[in-house]
Amino acid sequence: MADPHPSGGTDRIVLRGIRAHAHHGVYAFEREQGQLFVVDASLELDTAPAAAGDDLELTVNYAELAQQLRAVVVGEPVNLLETLAQRLADACLAHQLVQAVEITVHKPEAQLGVPFDDVTVAIRRERA
């Protein structure tokens, strides 16, 4: 019988809703007051080796990754969500097992001058 999940397959580890108060933005009031940012990260990797050995060392520890992503968000302020998203993607790709990542950065408290639910920037990056 064929292996239902051959090695090299693409699985996902997804973290949704990592929240942090940070000071990103183009405007002075955003840098001074700060606001809520929410991050979603979807990592593509092969989880078969970890599953076969029941071994955390063969996958990405999502508790550690969540702390790393939060540290990026509360770290050095940037003007653009695009820049923040790239930094978050870089942090994910620093894990050698991650083949690709999709990052969504939410800025639900942005001041747009019109009623809205959320504004997001989403990027996808792959290992070179």
Query: What CATH number has the domain bearing residue 38?
Result: 3.30.1130.10
Q: Which residues contact 98 (CB under 8 A, 6 or more apart)?
A: 43, 44, 45, 60, 92, 127
Specify whether the CB–CB gap between 17 and 38 falls below 8 A: yes
- Provide the residue range defining the domain that includes 82: 11-126
| Domain presence at residue 2 | no
Number of domains in the chain: 1
| Domain presence at residue 1 | no
| Domain presence at residue 6 | no
| Domain presence at residue 15 | yes
Of 45, 50, 46, 21, nearest to 33 (Cα)? Answer: 21
The tens place of each residue's pLDDT in the chain, 128 residues long, gives 444 445 556 899 999 999 999 999 999 999 999 999 999 999 999 999 999 999 999 999 999 999 999 999 999 999 999 999 999 999 999 999 999 999 999 999 999 999 999 999 999 999 98
Active site residue 107: yes
Among residues 107, 114, 118, 127, the one annotated as catalytic is 107
Report the predicted TM-score, pTM, of the whole model to 2 decimal places.
0.92
| Domain presence at residue 5 | no
